[in-house]
Structure 1
Amino acid sequence: MQGEGECGKGLSYFVDEAKRKLSARFTPSAGKSGLDLGGLKRCLAESPFKTWYVNEFALADLIRKYHAASESFELEIGEARDGEFRIEISPDLMGVHLLLFSPQGGKPVAKAEVLAMLAQRGVVSGIIDENIETAIQCGSAEGIDIAKGRLPVHGEDGTLNLLAPQASERKPSLSEDGIANFRELGGVATVSPGAPLMRRSPPTPGEPGVNVLGHIVPPKAGKAAMFAPRLDGAAFAADDPDLLTAAIAGQPVLVNNGVQVDPVMTVENVDISSGNIHFEGTVVIRRDIQAGMVIEATGDIQVGGTVEAATLIAGGNVRVAGGVIGRHEGQKGAANAISSVRCGGSFHARFVQNARIEVDDSIYIDEGAMQSELLATRQIIVGKDDSQKGQLIGGKATATLLVKAQTLGAPTHVKTLVEVGVNPHLHAELLGIGKELENKALGRENVEKLLAFLKSNPQKGSPDVIAKAQKTHANLLEETTQLLAKQEELMRHISLAENARVIANRKVHIGARIQIGSRVCEVSEDLESVAYALRSDEIARDLLPRQGQAKAVLK
């Protein structure tokens, strides 16, 4: 086959059909044109051979020979190349990708060729015919999916579902910014023996998948939810090992991986006639606590009236409907009459004056705190956002994440110390958990060695010994899981502490001293609606959005 056009005088093109080669033929004629590579390429692009593969080195050789030749010659410059393709199977065997290259003067790739290659490579599942056809029609493709496996659906973990909705929560969960999600602790809910507390739902096995080779891909089964090994005041139903019920009458308390029931003691007042109270459970005082009295409970303490110069120690939450008042210096009997509250949960009162409050969670005070020492692991909030009350005046307030009040300090410029972002207790507790985890790991290793020995030497151990060892191993695993969860929570708290804030919703007065981490800011002017935080290792002051003013960095 000879080309219809000529590129340069005396040049023509033809194809060797048997070899599928494209050649140029030069026949001497009168005069030669000024042939160059660009012109030659343009000429070929407009010829019947425009789709053929052309060797550029051969074209350069053709131009050289053309200008030097005085006799006829032929030179091979290209060839017909069929379309090509390649399939790639992903390492996880869940996908097949097609790379398709257009033909250059030859035959295009046919769908049957692709299907044959898939069969040769063992691909039998999830073939996407329409994608293959689309690629063939386009003539080329780069990495198009032509087969996909079906992923397994992994099983869901078992859950522990609360059936006692009024259960008191000792350790509330945090929101994304580290703020505890409750304020009102409510009254004391009680349950009777046999009342359902929590149900365990089993994990699901999941659904298997299949890869492109047709092999089954097993799912990961969900993990079984485990109740805590010790839940005081609770027991499993006799006919249902997944149902936790109350074993005694008392207050249901939500704890990690379960619900326990605390006994409840109720008294009218606490004074000299009632004596001090030391109780394993929750204590409810309907009215007031008189000066000098001590109430100690492993559960919650709820007071319907006022606490005057008394001591409260609770393993759970403390809620005082009225206020907590101590006697300031100069008052009669002040030396031995400070109000002191220590609790493992959160504290909530209407007001606090001349008192020391220390909690493992958060402090909420509705109206105001004066000349008191407040220490909270998480946050201290004085006043409600929609109220003008909420003054934090004098004393010292220390929290890890947040101290927020409607007003910080007073117009009289009384010294008021506020400190956030520092909690050495968290780091100490984290170190303690690390040591506990090491001990649990050592204990598991020893039990596993014992179980392996008994398996190899069954005559050395009775069924009771084996069962006891297996139970010990299961308990160690559960305790390790709980410790890891607590470790993760503590690490999150430490991370959140880096974003600690101090907020005065309405005003901060001269005399307030703000400390964030190791940085200190003495308030030198009265300001409205301001927030303090660390930025670039300096305390930054932001006027709150409703003020519509820009932020400034304090030096």
Structure 2
Amino acid sequence: MLSIDDTANLFLIKVSDDKMMVHLTVKPFDPENVDITVDNVLETLKAKGISFGIKEDAIKAALDKVRQENISVKNALIAEGEQPVHGKDGNIEFLFDASSKIGPLVGSDGRVDYHNTSIIESVKIKQPLARLIDPAPGKPGRNVYGGIVVPIQGKPCVLPVGENAKISDNDPKLLVSCIDGNVRYIGGVVSVKSCYMVDKDVDFGVGNIVSKGTVIVKGSVKSGFKLDVEGDVEVWDTVEDSIIKSKGNILVKGGFIGSGTGKIEAEGDVAVRFARNQTIVANNVKILREAIDCTIYAKNTVKAEGDRLSIAGGLVVAGTLIEVESLGSKKEIYTDVEVGVDYAAQQKQMNTRKETSDLRAALKKVDKELALLHEIKKSKGELTAKHADTFQQLLSRKEEIEKRLRDLPSGETVPVYKDAKVVVYKVVYPGVEIKIGEATMSILEECHNTTFYLFENEIKQSP
């Protein structure tokens, strides 16, 4: 048998930086004068302290290839460690629907059941809400030197305890409700809100509603009334010219109709069956039929599912996506559709600009009055007590305005979502104007099954 020194210049063994793989490179050799055997390579591996995961078949295959073809074999894998199996983080098993999605139920036959639509999930006191799943342990691995490779262990999770929820007295891994109410998972915690049920219309017999919990109206909300709710709102019939505000989701099973003074505003999502001549502001907006002459602002998406008519007239603004069956109408009603800009950030920027302008105008007026008092003092030598008092008040006012100007946010540009798009599955009619970011396209003739998107600062179409 040849010694290691005799064959050292004919093959090279390289260990990866993570000590998990060994590669063999073999130069051509003349078997009649010198031969490299599997034992030669194994002896070298042993000398280097490599003892785990050795692939003798791979060593033999590499040497045979060099003998038979008289070519070099480079980086043949001849030893491999065992990778550790990392642990899995703990997680939460929700025992209710935590998705917060709103919309009608769709049967197996594809038919939509508007009557069974709901965003409210009721729970009883002590009812389990969520279960804590422990992290799964990892399994150690071994490197080619036989050393232990320690796995990354899973991180533990904690129960998302919110308002009116607590850890069970009998099971520290179980979250239960403290009250009868409606459960929600929002803001990273599970909360249970009390529910205010109105068994009839919201009218003069009920009045305006202010609630820290969930509100369910089994009738309509009549014109002129207000609902200010911290939980979800569910209206089983129509909403007229009224104001509904919610920190959760809002579902209107009927329509949102009136003369145009109504507004539905939610920090979560809004779903209505249809809307005409009203304003909706939400995170996501879903119109189950059509929206006619409405003003709709959505931070993320607007979807309208009306078959013959989806969105026609008015202004619809969404951050990332507007998805409809049809856009505009055969009567070529002007319809303004905008995507790609966060309307809330845009509105905040506009408010900041207006406030800055108002403060600068006020500062200019104060400076003018101060200049006038300086002239009086210069001509008369001193100010009267009344003028001196006014002078000090103006100085205080000037200092206050300057501080408010310094505290206003800087004029940051509103980001444009480059991937924003408008998807129309059936027809877009003339009279529609589409805006994505700063680019605008006016529709002059009907187009079908079209997606509008931004490419190199221009609006493009694709089927």
TM more than 0.5: yes
**1:70-109 alignment runs, 5 A limit:** 84-104=10-30, 106-109=33-36
Contact 2:102 2:251 in 1 (8 A): no
- CA pair 171-118 structure 1, distance change in 2 beyond 3 A: farther
**Matched residues in 1 for 2:77 and 2:346: separation?**
51
Question: What does the per-residue CA deviation read over 1:310-348, in whole Å, with 9 as the maximum and x for residues that have no partner?
Answer: 1100111111111011215xxxxxxxxx11100011111
- CA pair 528-82 structure 1, distance change in 2 beyond 3 A: closer
- CA pair 81-419 structure 1, distance change in 2 beyond 3 A: closer
Contact 1:160 1:258 in 2 (8 A): no
Pair 1:131-2:54 in alignment: no
Alignment root-mean-square deviation, CA: 2.5
- For residue 326 of structure 2, the aligned residue among 386, 392, 407 is 407
- CA pair 427-274 structure 1, distance change in 2 beyond 3 A: closer
- CA pair 326-144 structure 1, distance change in 2 beyond 3 A: same
Pair 1:356-2:279 in alignment: yes
> Secondary structure of the residue that 1:137 maps to in structure 2?
helix
Q: Once the 2 structures are TM-superposed, how far is the Cα of residue 351 of structure 1 from its aligned partner?
A: 0.8
- For residue 48 of structure 2, the aligned residue among 115, 118, 121 is 121
**Matched residues in 1 for 2:99 and 2:214: separation?**
11
- CA pair 233-275 structure 1, distance change in 2 beyond 3 A: same
**1:337-486 alignment runs, 5 A limit:** 338-360=261-283, 362-383=284-305, 388-423=307-342, 425=344
Pair 1:524-2:450 in alignment: no
**Matched residues in 2 for 1:241 and 1:394: separation?**
55
Question: What does the per-residue CA deviation read over 1:383-411, in whole Å, with 9 as the maximum and x for residues that have no partner?
Answer: 15xxx233312110000111122222223
Pair 1:169-2:95 in alignment: no
> Secondary structure of the residue that 1:371 maps to in structure 2?
strand
The equivalent residue for 2:399 is none
> Secondary structure of the residue that 2:62 maps to in structure 1?
helix
The letter of the residue matching 1:193 is: I
Contact 1:153 1:219 in 2 (8 A): yes
> Secondary structure of the residue that 1:197 maps to in structure 2?
strand
Q: Once the 2 structures are TM-superposed, how far is the Cα of residue 503 of structure 1 from its aligned partner?
A: 2.6
The equivalent residue for 1:48 is none
What are the ranges of 5 or more consecutive residues in structure 1 without an aligned counterpart? 1-79, 173-182, 329-337, 430-493, 545-555
**Matched residues in 2 for 1:533 and 1:157: separation?**
39
- For residue 419 of structure 2, the aligned residue among 496, 499, 503 is 499
Deviates more, 1:232-241 or 1:138-147: 138-147
- CA pair 306-535 structure 1, distance change in 2 beyond 3 A: same
Pair 1:201-2:127 in alignment: no
- CA pair 428-108 structure 1, distance change in 2 beyond 3 A: farther
Contact 2:25 2:74 in 1 (8 A): yes
- CA pair 187-400 structure 1, distance change in 2 beyond 3 A: closer
- CA pair 426-153 structure 1, distance change in 2 beyond 3 A: farther
Pair 1:285-2:217 in alignment: yes
Contact 1:83 1:100 in 2 (8 A): no
- CA pair 390-243 structure 1, distance change in 2 beyond 3 A: farther
Contact 1:373 1:397 in 2 (8 A): yes
Question: What does the per-residue CA deviation read over 1:86-141, in whole Å, with 9 as the maximum and x for residues that have no partner?
Answer: 11111111111111223235211122211111111000111111112222322353
Q: Once the 2 structures are TM-superposed, how far is the Cα of residue 207 of structure 1 from its aligned partner?
A: 0.4
Question: What does the per-residue CA deviation read over 1:482-530, in whole Å, with 9 as the maximum and x for residues that have no partner?
Answer: xxxxxxxxxxxx79x3111113322222221110110011122233333
The structure having more radius of gyration, on CA atoms, is 1
Q: Once the 2 structures are TM-superposed, how far is the Cα of residue 284 of structure 1 from its aligned partner?
A: 0.4
> Secondary structure of the residue that 2:191 maps to in structure 1?
strand
Contact 1:102 1:108 in 2 (8 A): no
- CA pair 311-428 structure 1, distance change in 2 beyond 3 A: closer
- CA pair 354-134 structure 1, distance change in 2 beyond 3 A: same
The equivalent residue for 2:458 is 538
**Matched residues in 2 for 1:323 and 1:297: separation?**
20
The equivalent residue for 2:142 is 210
User: Between the two proteins, what is the percent identity of the paired residues?
Assistant: 29
Query: Normalization by structure 2: what TM-score?
Result: 0.76
The equivalent residue for 1:511 is 431
Contact 2:102 2:118 in 1 (8 A): no
- For residue 181 of structure 2, the aligned residue among 247, 250, 266 is 250
**Matched residues in 2 for 1:428 and 1:528: separation?**
33
Q: Once the 2 structures are TM-superposed, how far is the Cα of residue 249 of structure 1 from its aligned partner?
A: 1.0
The letter of the residue matching 2:212 is: E
The letter of the residue matching 1:538 is: E
- CA pair 346-185 structure 1, distance change in 2 beyond 3 A: farther
Query: Normalization by structure 1: what TM-score?
Result: 0.64
**Matched residues in 2 for 1:278 and 1:81: separation?**
88
Contact 2:317 2:343 in 1 (8 A): no
> Secondary structure of the residue that 1:164 maps to in structure 2?
coil
The letter of the residue matching 1:143 is: N
What are the ranges of 5 or more consecutive residues in structure 2 without an aligned counterpart? 1-5, 104-113, 349-414
**Matched residues in 2 for 1:81 and 1:95: separation?**
22
Question: What does the per-residue CA deviation read over 1:406-438, in whole Å, with 9 as the maximum and x for residues that have no partner?
Answer: 222223322210000011546999xxxxxxxxx
> Secondary structure of the residue that 2:39 maps to in structure 1?
helix
Pair 1:306-2:249 in alignment: no
> Secondary structure of the residue that 1:367 maps to in structure 2?
coil
The letter of the residue matching 2:279 is: R
**Matched residues in 1 for 2:323 and 2:142: separation?**
55
- CA pair 424-509 structure 1, distance change in 2 beyond 3 A: closer
Higher relative contact order (CA 8 A, sep 6+): 2
Deviates more, 1:135-144 or 1:390-399: 135-144
